[in-house]
């Protein structure tokens, strides 16, 4: 039986970030992963690095995470997250301009580098966009995208340099307990002992939590992403664009491709172990139609590949973080497809909380599991239409 201070179940970007920050604090950390690093939601993430949220707690975490992407070598020191600064543009449906103003004001109070643009500003910034319907948009000039798999691998490599251990191909079957305390985990590779176990298992997190009698409102969520060849007709560099008005997002993928995703047309529920199915042809048609409405030059793009990702989604589409159930059991899951950009700050705050630092608790307490029991779901005061539905 291998011993550790903390076992982290899952080597996605959240688990890897947590392992790094725990190891920095001197904890003995063991990371167990059912497949390989970033094999789940992280490896198929779109990799946005942006701060625009309608919930202050999330905007705060994204802004606190940003310096890690910007100054990775000094802050992490292993690997390279592949951060590319493109700028980020947030578009909203007609009638939500007041919500956009309020959310940008909130973000500016936090110190986020963001500003409001009118329709003319958007057309000057990105001449290739069809923006006649845009009254108001938000723009973050410092934001962009990064490589999610490389980010997770870098965090884990830095954690291992600080003494953390990693076991791949290790399927955790259940959390073990003695009385009301966690003692470790049982896996397909034997038993591992630790007084603290963190469930960062993505779409499988609910199943693992159930092994200690903790009911977590998470279901599997599957999302299709498309990579297109960049059409020659695009005249200007593109920012990352999150278009709530058309229910689509897109960004550059290197210098010769575009990455595109829909905010709907997703599949909820089912066994997370079932094979990842091919992207439905209807979903491809919807994505192409919406993209070309916003980016007419994309009519000449070529579809190079599609891929399907999977995460765990919660009723309010916000993460579940904190202690639950027997002493020593912690949750870090339910990120609902939006957890990449906040991973550096969440890893730091959760490591602090686990190690008894009250500042970490204060940062993450809004995300505790109890909100679902009390009906206090996390909803910003100025929300946009629901994502992922």
Nearest-10 Cα torsion for 67, 68, 74, 75: 120
Q: Is 381 a domain residue?
A: no
Residue 274 CB neighbour total at 10 angstroms = 10
Strand-pair category, 190-193 with 2-3: parallel
Quick one: 186 and 293 in the same domain? no
- Residue ending a domain, among 310, 328, 351, is 310
- Residue 278 is predicted with a pLDDT of 86
CA distance 31 to 8: 5
Q: Calculate mean pLDDT across residues 103-110.
A: 98
Quick one: 139 and 179 in the same domain? no
97-110 vs 56-70: helix axis angle to the nearest 10? 60
- Residue ending a domain, among 269, 294, 310, is 310
Q: Is 34 a domain residue?
A: yes
Quick one: 155 and 234 in the same domain? no
Lowest model confidence (mean pLDDT) among 119-123, 248-252, 274-278, 349-353: 274-278
* 1 has pLDDT over 80: no
pLDDT, one tens digit per residue, over 130-168 is 999 999 999 999 999 999 999 999 999 999 999 999 999
Residue in this structure with the two tokens 């038993």, named with its chain if needed? 191
When pLDDT is cut at 50, 70 and 90, the band that residue 82 belongs to is very high
CB-based contact 247:223 (threshold 8 Å): no
CB-based contact 159:29 (threshold 8 Å): yes
Q: Calculate mean pLDDT across residues 100-106.
A: 98
Which domain does 187 fall in, by range? Answer: 2-47+148-218+316-374
Residues above pLDDT 70, as percent of the chain:
98
* 280 has pLDDT over 90: no
Q: Which residue has the higher pLDDT, 280 or 316?
A: 316
Q: Is 62 a domain residue?
A: no
Q: Chain-centre distance of CA 134, in angstroms?
A: 27
Q: What are phi and psi of 51, to 5 degrees?
A: -115, -5
Question: What total of structural domains would you count in the chain?
Answer: 2
Quick one: 272 and 152 in the same domain? no
- Residue 389 is predicted with a pLDDT of 37
Task: Supply the CATH number for residue 236's domain.
Answer: 3.30.9.10
* 387 has pLDDT over 60: no
- Residue ending a domain, among 310, 326, 359, is 310
Q: Is 379 a domain residue?
A: no
CB-based contact 122:134 (threshold 8 Å): yes
CB-based contact 47:148 (threshold 8 Å): yes
Quick one: 180 and 251 in the same domain? no
- Residue 108 is predicted with a pLDDT of 98
């Amino acid at each position: 039986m291998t011993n550790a201070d903390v076992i982290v179940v899952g080597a996605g970007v959240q688990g890897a970030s947590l392992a790094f920050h725990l190891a920095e604090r001197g904890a003995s950390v063991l990371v167990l992963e059912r497949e390989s690093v970033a094999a789940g939601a992280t490896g198929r993430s779109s990799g946005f690095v942006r701060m625009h949220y309608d919930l202050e707690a999330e905007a705060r975490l994204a802004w606190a995470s940003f310096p890690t992407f910007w100054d990775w070598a000094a802050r992490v020191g292993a690997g390279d997250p592949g951060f590319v600064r493109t700028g980020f543009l947030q578009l909203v449906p007609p009638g939500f301009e007041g919500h956009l103003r309020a959310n940008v004001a909130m973000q500016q109070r936090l110190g986020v580098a963001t500003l409001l643009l009118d329709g003319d500003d958007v057309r000057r910034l990105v001449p290739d966009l069809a923006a006649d319907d845009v009254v108001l948009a938000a723009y973050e000039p410092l934001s962009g995208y990064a490589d999610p798999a490389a980010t997770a691998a870098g965090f884990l490599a830095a954690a291992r340099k600080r003494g953390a251990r990693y076991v791949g191909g290790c399927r955790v079957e259940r959390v073990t307990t003695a009385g009301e305390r966690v003692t470790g985990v049982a896996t397909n590779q034997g038993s591992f002992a630790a007084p603290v176990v963190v469930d960062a298992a993505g779409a499988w997190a609910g199943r693992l939590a159930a092994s200690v009698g903790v009911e977590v409102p998470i279901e599997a969520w599957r999302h299709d992403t498309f990579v297109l060849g960049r059409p020659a007709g695009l005249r200007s560099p593109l920012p990352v664009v999150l278009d709530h008005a058309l229910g689509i997002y897109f960004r550059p993928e290197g210098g010769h491709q575009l990455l595109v995703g829909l905010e709907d047309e997703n599949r909820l529920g089912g066994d997370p172990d079932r094979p990842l199915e091919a992207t439905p042809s209807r979903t491809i048609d919807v994505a192409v139609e919406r993209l070309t409405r916003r980016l007419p030059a994309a009519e000449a793009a070529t579809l190079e590949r599609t891929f399907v990702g999977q995460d765990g989604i919660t009723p309010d589409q916000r993460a579940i973080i904190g202690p639950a159930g027997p002493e020593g059991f912690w949750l870090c899951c339910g990120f609902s497809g939006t957890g990449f950009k906040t991973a550096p700050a969440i890893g730091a705050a959760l490591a602090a909380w686990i190690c008894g630092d009250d500042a970490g608790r204060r940062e993450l307490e809004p995300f505790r599991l109890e909100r679902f029991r009390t009906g206090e779901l996390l909803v910003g005061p100025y929300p946009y239409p629901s994502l992922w539905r």
